Amino acid sequence: MRREEDHNVPRHPHLEEKTSDVASGSYRPATIPKHRVISIAVSSQKGGVGKTTVSINLAHSFARAGVKTLLVDADPQGSVGLSLTRQSRLLTGFYDYLADPGIPLDRLIVPTRLETFSLVASGQASDYEAGGGGMGTHLARVRAFLRSIAARGFDLCLIDTAAGLFGVTGDVIASVDAIMIPQQAEPLGIRSVPKLLEGLSRLRVVNPRLNVLGVCLTMVQNDLAESTEAAASLRQLLPQEMVFQTQIPRDGLFVRASARGLPIGVLEDGAGAQVVFDSLRAEIEAKFEPSYGQQAAYG
């Protein structure tokens, strides 16, 4: 089904041009189950750890693999939109949906040339940029959003949240099936892990079905001892199953990709980096295997 025929919303111009080849079906279908939507928040205690980069490229990896994927920008800074769409500031988005119950989901969804990949921008409700609204304020609306997505036939909803585990981000985490946590491989960030775990423990009371997929080390610099030591320390500190084997390296390709408004796998020389996200995708799929029979939290 082509979404752009159903909705009067702009398609992403770059993805239209660049990703038509990957929609040809030559990729191994991923194993995320099709009978329900799985929602995953990409969140962290600290900012600047690579959430948006992970979200965009992981979503693209799932979509390439045939999973009907919706990438939602729940960061008021609009990082996904600013990375992928020139018109992001003009689009009705997630925060508009939270603020106005009259906005239908259809108005939010931005299709791309890759039939299985759609976006929701953060929107224009600027009052949220100052962090408006305490946690719990938008819980009902966030859950309504996830139910609407399930009804639209998406397989996967990946939500790029703002840093911190409070406010709307807290409401998102209190509503999704799972959370993955990008964590920059540097000492200061890893020292914040206890605060992260405490925050997740509190949110898991609100959302008992929250599946903690784990921490993904990002911006790893193999030529910098402090970076590799920090990564090793985190692996020593946390249970093995809580840290993804896949690490995201610091790479100039990410800067080039965001400069051009593309997922990294769409760059001419991005195939190597795409393998990293395909590997991360495979780890996530494996983590969902045992829970195939469970129902979505609020989807």
Partner 1 sequence: MDPVNPWLDPVEVRRLADRLMRPNRELGVSVADAGFDEGFVGFARDQTIPPEPLPPSPTPFVREVAATSVPPSSPPENPVIARGPFLDRIVRFRDWMHHNFTATGIFILDREGAVIFDESNHGRLHFLARSLALASRRPGASAGNVHVKIGAGATLEVIPVETAYGCLVLGAVVSDSLPPAAVVVVMEALALVAAPPVEG
DSSP state of 91: S
- Identify residue 217 by its one-letter amino acid code: L
- Between 56 and 181, name the residue whose CB sits nearer to partner 1: 181
- Between 204 and 250, name the residue whose CB sits nearer to partner 1: 204
Binding positions for partner 1, 25-54, rule CB under 8 A: none
Work out whether 131 is an interface residue with partner 1 (CB under 8 A).
Answer: no
Work out whether 193 is an interface residue with partner 1 (CB under 8 A).
Answer: yes
Residue written as token pair 């020139």: 86
Burial of 271 (C-beta count, 10 Å sphere; 0-12/13-18/19+): exposed
Among 100, 127, 198, 289, binds partner 1 (CB under 8 A): 198
Burial of 10 (C-beta count, 10 Å sphere; 0-12/13-18/19+): middle
Work out whether 238 is an interface residue with partner 1 (CB under 8 A).
Answer: yes
Burial of 4 (C-beta count, 10 Å sphere; 0-12/13-18/19+): middle
Among 29, 131, 134, 272, binds partner 1 (CB under 8 A): 134
Least Å distance between CB 26 and partner 1? 36
Among 47, 48, 131, 136, binds partner 1 (CB under 8 A): 136
- Between 146 and 276, name the residue whose CB sits nearer to partner 1: 146
Work out whether 289 is an interface residue with partner 1 (CB under 8 A).
Answer: no
How many residues form the binding site for partner 1 (CB under 8 A)?
37
Least Å distance between CB 52 and partner 1? 24
Work out whether 197 is an interface residue with partner 1 (CB under 8 A).
Answer: yes
Binding positions for partner 1, 143-182, rule CB under 8 A: 143-144
Least Å distance between CB 213 and partner 1? 10
CB 19 within 8 A of CB 112: yes
Work out whether 229 is an interface residue with partner 1 (CB under 8 A).
Answer: yes
Report how far apart, in Å, the C-alpha atoms of 48 and of each of 139, 141, 198 are: 25, 27, 20
Least Å distance between CB 214 and partner 1? 8
Query: Which residues touch 33 (CB under 8 Å, ≥6 apart)?
Result: 155, 288, 292
Q: How many CA atoms lie within 13 A of 153 on its CB side?
A: 7
Q: How many helices (H) and strands (E) does the chain have?
A: 11, 7
- Between 14 and 147, name the residue whose CB sits nearer to partner 1: 147
Phi, psi of 269 (to 5 degrees): -105, 30
Strand partners, 220: 249
Q: Give the integer Cα–Cα distance in Å for 49 and 103.
A: 32
Work out whether 208 is an interface residue with partner 1 (CB under 8 A).
Answer: yes
Q: Give the integer Cα–Cα distance in Å for 72 and 93.
A: 9
Residues that bind partner 1 (CB under 8 A): 134-137, 139-140, 143-144, 187, 190-191, 193-194, 197-198, 200-202, 204-210, 212, 226, 229-230, 233-234, 236-239, 241-242
